[in-house]
Amino acid sequence: MTEYADIDRNILRMLSPPKKPYYALLGLCLSGIAFGTFCEIYQLLTGMGNTGLMHPVMWGIYLISFVFWVGIAHSGTLISAILFLFRASWRTPIARSAEAMTVFAVMAAGIFPLIHLGRVWIFYWLIPYPNQRYLWPNFQSPLFFDFVAVSTYFTVSSLFWYTGLIPDLAAVRDASRGLRRKIYGILSLGWTGSHQQWRHYGWAYLLMAAFATPLVISVHSVVSWDFALAIIPGYHSTIFAPYFVAGAIQSGLSMVLTLLIPLRRIFRLEAFITLKTLESLAKTMIFTCLVIGYSYLVEYFMAWYSGNSVERDAFLWRAIGDYAPQFWIMVVFNALLPLLFFFKRIRTHLGYLFIIAILVNIGMWFERFVIIVGSIAHDFDPYVWGIYTPNWVELGIMIGSFSLFFLFFLLFVKFLPAISMAEMKEGLIRDIGNRQ
Amino acid sequence: MKKNGEIDEKKQGVMGIFRDMEWLLHAIKNIKERNVKIDTVFSPFFSHEVQEALKLQPSPIRYFALAGGVLGIVAGFGLASYAHLEWKFITSGKPVLSWISFFVIAFEGCILGGVLATVIGMIVKNRLFHFRLPEVYDSRFSQDQFGLFVTCQEAEVDEVSMLLRDSGAEEVRVVGK
C-alpha cells in the first residue's frame, strides 16, 4: 500500500459506524438542544421579561454568547486561510476541522441576534430590500454592520470550507459503494482530479483564502464596534477592534485545542496531528495572550490618564465591585495562564494543553461578560446602577447553543473527512522533495 | 479534452497509470518530446510540478474574482447610498450620505462579491455539477495513483503504449477502441 493510500485509510476509517460513546455524546447534545429550544419557545410565548434582562443591563447572556461564538469562529479562518497564505505546513492536518469549527460557530452565533430581538418573527426588517413599509435599515449603525459582516463571514466560510472538501468528497465517493457512493458523488459535484480542474481549483482556493483573510480582522472589529460606537465608559474605547480580534483568536485557538486533543486521542491521529502542531497552536496563544494583557493594561492606563472620574470609577468597580470575581477570572485565565506556554514542558504536555484551553475558553467567556454587562451595569448615572443575574431561560438557551455546536462537530467528524486528505498527500510530496 | 475541464468521453487514446509522481513527470516529458497530445493528467492532489510540466497558464478565475470584488464594492456603496437617499435618517447633524460608515458595507460587499464570483468561476471552468464520470476515469485517481491519458489514432496505440510503459507506467489501458 502506498503512503497516499495509507493517508486515505487512516482518515476514512473515522467515517466508519460509531461506537456507543459516540451515541451517548450525540444524545447529550440533542438533549441540550431540546432544552434550549424549550427555553426559547417559553421566551417567545411569555416575553423577554422572563429573562434576567432588566434596566440598566439590557444586553446580557445573548450578546455575550453572540460575541463568544463569533470570536471562536475567527481562529478557524486564521488557521485555514491566513496560515495557508503564509505556507505554514503545520496547519495542514488541522485546517479542515478548524474551518468546520468556524462554520458551526458562526451558525451558533447567528441565532443569538434573532433570540435577542425577542420578536424573532420580525428579524426580516434588518434585511435591506425595497418594501411596502418604505423603511430601510440604518447603514450607519454598527448593529447593521454586524448583519452584513456576520452573514458575509458565514457565506464565505461555508463556501471556502466546501470548496476545500470537494476533492476529498470525491475520494470518499470512490471508496464507497451503493447509496453512500451516490450521495458522495452528488456532494463531490463530479470531481475527477484532472489537471485542468486542479488548475482552476488551486487558483480558486488561493483567492478565497486571500478574501477570507481580511474577514478575520474586519468581522470581529465590526462586532467590537457594537460596543465601541456607544458612549459609555467601558464600551467607548478605540482599542476595541484589535483587542476583540486578539481575544477572538485566543478563544478560537483554545476551542481548536479543546476539540482536537480528544479527537486525536479517540481516532488515534497522532501521526497526523502531531505534538508539534499542538505546540504551534500553544505558541500562537502566547502572542494573543500578550496582546490581550496589553489591552487590559492600556484600558486601565487610559482610564487613569484621562482624569475622567466616570471612566476611572467604572474601571475601579470592575476590579473591586460586584463583578470582581468574574473580572479576576478574566485577567488570570486570559492574560496570565497562557504565559505558562513559554515553558516547553507545559506546551508539549497534552493534559496541561487541554486544561489550559478549557480555562481560557471560560476566561474568554467571562471577558465578554465583564465588558458587556460590567459596563452597562455601572455607567454615568449612579441612580441607574444595577446588577444582572442571568436566569434559567438564558442559561438554557446558552447550553442549547453549546450543544448545537458540539452536535454539528460530532456529525462532521462522522460524515466528512476531518483531515484534508488531498493536502496531506500534497504535503507528503513536499516533504519527500525537501528531504532529497 | 475541452479547455474548460470537461473530458470528452468519446476520445480514443491510451491511459497510463502511475504509482509514483516522479515517473509521471518523466512520462509527461517523454510524451511532449514526441509531440504526442496529452489529453488529461489525473492526480489525487494538486501538484505544481505537473502544472509546470504541462506549461499551464494561470487560471482566468482571477478575473472573475476581480470583477466580483469591484461589483461588491459598488453594490455596497450603491445600496447604502440608495437606502439613505430613499429614507433620510438624519441624526445629530450627520450628513445624509455618511460615506465613511458606508466603507464597512462596501468592504464586506467586496469580499462577498469576490468569493461568490470565484466560486461561480470555479464551477463554470471546472464544469462541476457534471455528475457522470468520464469513461477514462479510474477511482484510484482520487486515492494514490496518477493517470496520464494521451489521445492518438488507432495506428499509434501500440507505440504510445510502449512509450508509457518505458516511462514507468504500471498499467496501460487502451480507451475508446
Q: Say if residue B44 is exposed, middle or buried (CB neighbours under 10 Å; 0-12, 13-18, 19+).
A: buried
Q: Which domain holds residue A225?
A: 60-123+136-431
At A378 the pLDDT is 94
Which residue has 493517508 as its cell numbers? A7
Side chain identity, residue A134? Y
At B82 the pLDDT is 93
Whole-number percent of chain B with pLDDT over 90: 70
Lowest mean pLDDT among A287-296, A363-372, A419-428: A419-428
Average of pLDDT values for A118-124?
Answer: 91
How far from chain centre, in Å, is Cα A297?
25
The cell for A177 is 459503494
> What residues pair up with A356 in beta bridges, in sequence order?
none
What average pLDDT is seen over chain B?
89
Cβ B142–A173 below 8 Å, yes or no?
yes
Nearest chain B alpha carbon to A208 = B115
Cα separation, A16 vs A308, whole angstroms: 62
Q: Are A392 and A28 in contact (CB under 8 A)?
A: no
Phi, psi of A42 (to 5 degrees): -60, -45
At A404 the pLDDT is 97
> What residues in A contact B85, CB-CB < 8 Å?
none
At A52 the pLDDT is 93
pLDDT-derived band at A334 (thresholds 50, 70, 90) equals very high
**Which residues touch A435 (CB under 8 Å, ≥6 apart)?**
none
A221 occurs within a structural domain:
yes
Cβ B118–A208 below 8 Å, yes or no?
yes
Q: Are A163 and A205 in contact (CB under 8 A)?
A: yes
The cell for A90 is 503545520
B154 Cα to chain A: minimum distance (Å): 24
How far from chain centre, in Å, is Cα A286?
18
Whole-model pTM: value is 0.93
At A36 the pLDDT is 97
At A187 the pLDDT is 95
> What residues in B contact A419, CB-CB < 8 Å?
none
Torsion B125-B129-B130-B136 (CA) sign: positive
Cβ A194–B42 below 8 Å, yes or no?
yes
Query: Does position A319 have pLDDT exceeding 50, yes or no?
Result: yes
Nearest chain B alpha carbon to A222 = B104
A278 Cα to chain B: minimum distance (Å): 25
pLDDT-derived band at A151 (thresholds 50, 70, 90) equals very high
Cβ B133–A199 below 8 Å, yes or no?
no
Lowest mean pLDDT among A133-142, A253-262, A381-390: A133-142
pLDDT per position as a tens digit, A218-253 = 999 999 999 999 999 999 999 999 999 999 999 999
The number of beta carbons lying within 10 Å of the beta carbon of residue B35 is 6
3-class secondary-structure state, position A91: helix
At A231 the pLDDT is 92
- Could you give the strand order of the β-sheet that contains B13-18, starting from the edge strand earlier in sequence? B38-42, B146-151, B13-18, B171-175
CA atoms within 13 Å, Cβ hemisphere of A42 = 16
Q: Are A101 and A255 in contact (CB under 8 A)?
A: yes
The cell for A306 is 484621562
Cβ A140–B141 below 8 Å, yes or no?
no
pLDDT-derived band at A434 (thresholds 50, 70, 90) equals low
pLDDT per position as a tens digit, A31-70 = 999 999 999 999 999 999 999 999 999 999 999 999 999 9
pLDDT-derived band at B127 (thresholds 50, 70, 90) equals confident
> What residues pair up with B14 in beta bridges, in sequence order?
B150, B174
At B155 the pLDDT is 87
Query: Does position B165 have pLDDT exceeding 60, yes or no?
Result: yes
Lowest mean pLDDT among A356-360, B83-87, B88-92, B113-117: B88-92
Lowest mean pLDDT among A102-111, A119-128, A234-243: A119-128
Q: Which of residues 94-153 of B touch A (CB under 8 A)?
A: 94, 98, 101-102, 104-105, 107-109, 111-112, 114-116, 118-119, 121-123, 125-134, 137, 139-144
Cα separation, B111 vs A80, whole angstroms: 17
A12 occurs within a structural domain:
no
Average of pLDDT values for B131-135?
Answer: 87
Helix-strand-coil percent breakdown of chain A, rounded to 5? 80, 0, 20
A9 occurs within a structural domain:
no
Cα separation, B169 vs A382, whole angstroms: 82
At B5 the pLDDT is 45
pLDDT per position as a tens digit, A270-299 = 999 999 999 999 999 999 999 999 999 999
Cα separation, A118 vs B95, whole angstroms: 32
pLDDT per position as a tens digit, B19-60 = 999 999 999 999 999 888 899 999 999 999 999 999 999 999
pLDDT per position as a tens digit, A392-401 = 999 999 999 9
Helices (H) and strands (E) in chain A, counts: 16, 0
Nearest to B129 among A167, A190, A422 (CB): A190
A346 Cα to chain B: minimum distance (Å): 36
A436 occurs within a structural domain:
no
Which residue, A189, A65, A52, A187, is CA-closest to A115?
A65
pLDDT per position as a tens digit, A168-219 = 999 999 999 999 999 999 999 999 999 999 999 999 999 999 999 999 999 9
Element (H, E) at A5: helix A3-12
A345 occurs within a structural domain:
yes
Q: Are B147 and B173 in contact (CB under 8 A)?
A: no
Query: Does position B12 have pLDDT exceeding 90, yes or no?
Result: no
Query: Does position B6 have pLDDT exceeding 60, yes or no?
Result: no
A162 occurs within a structural domain:
yes
> What residues in A contact B43, CB-CB < 8 Å?
193, 195, 198
Q: Does A263 touch chain B (CB under 8 A)?
A: no
Nearest to B143 among A174, A214, A222 (CB): A174
Cβ A195–B7 below 8 Å, yes or no?
no
Which residue, A161, A14, A33, A32, is CA-closest to A101?
A161
pLDDT-derived band at B156 (thresholds 50, 70, 90) equals confident
What residue ranges define each of the domains in chain B, with the CATH number in brackets? 13-57+134-175 (3.30.70), 61-125 (no CATH)
First to last CA, chain B: 17
Q: Does A192 touch chain B (CB under 8 A)?
A: yes
Cβ B141–A190 below 8 Å, yes or no?
no
A33 occurs within a structural domain:
no
At A429 the pLDDT is 75
Lowest mean pLDDT among A3-7, A28-32, A340-344: A3-7
Q: Does A131 touch chain B (CB under 8 A)?
A: no
Nearest chain B alpha carbon to A149 = B108
A84 Cα to chain B: minimum distance (Å): 14
List C-alpha distances in Å: A126 to A119, A123, A129. Answer: 12, 6, 9
B61 Cα to chain A: minimum distance (Å): 7
Alpha helix positions (H), B2-137:
21-33, 48-53, 61-86, 99-125
Instruction: Report how many domains make up chain A.
Output: 1
Average of pLDDT values for A361-375?
Answer: 97
> What residues in B contact A189, CB-CB < 8 Å?
123, 128-131
Query: Does position A432 have pLDDT exceeding 80, yes or no?
Result: no
At B106 the pLDDT is 97
Side chain identity, residue B122? M
At A234 the pLDDT is 93
At A436 the pLDDT is 56
Which residue, B51, B134, B147, B87, is CA-closest to A199?
B51
Cα separation, A292 vs A61, whole angstroms: 22
Helices (H) and strands (E) in chain B, counts: 5, 4
A13 occurs within a structural domain:
no
B64 Cα to chain A: minimum distance (Å): 10
